[in-house]
Amino acid sequence: MNRKERPVKPLDMTPIIKRYPGYFVALNDDRTRVLGKGHTPEEALEEAKENGAENPILTRIPEENRSYLL
Residue 46: domain span:
3-60
Average pLDDT over residues 31-56: 96
User: With bands split at pLDDT 50, 70 and 90, how would you rate the model's confidence at 64?
Assistant: confident
Comparing 20 with 67, the larger pLDDT belongs to: 20
Q: How many domains are contained in the chain?
A: 1
In a domain, 29, yes or no: yes
Within a domain: 18? yes
Residue 66 lies in a domain: no
Length, in residues, of the chain: 70
Please count the other Cβ atoms lying within 10 Å of the Cβ belonging to residue 49.
Answer: 14
User: 39 in a domain, yes or no?
Assistant: yes
Residue 32 lies in a domain: yes
Residue 37 pLDDT: 98
Cβ-based neighbours of 48, under 8 Å, separated by 6 or more: 26, 35, 36, 56
pTM of the model: 0.77
- Give domain status of residue 67, yes or no: no
Q: Is residue 68 part of a domain?
A: no
Q: Are 36 and 47 in contact (CB under 8 A)?
A: yes
In a domain, 23, yes or no: yes
What percent of the chain has a predicted confidence (pLDDT) above 70?
81
pLDDT digits over 16-41, tens only?
A: 989 999 999 999 998 999 999 999 99
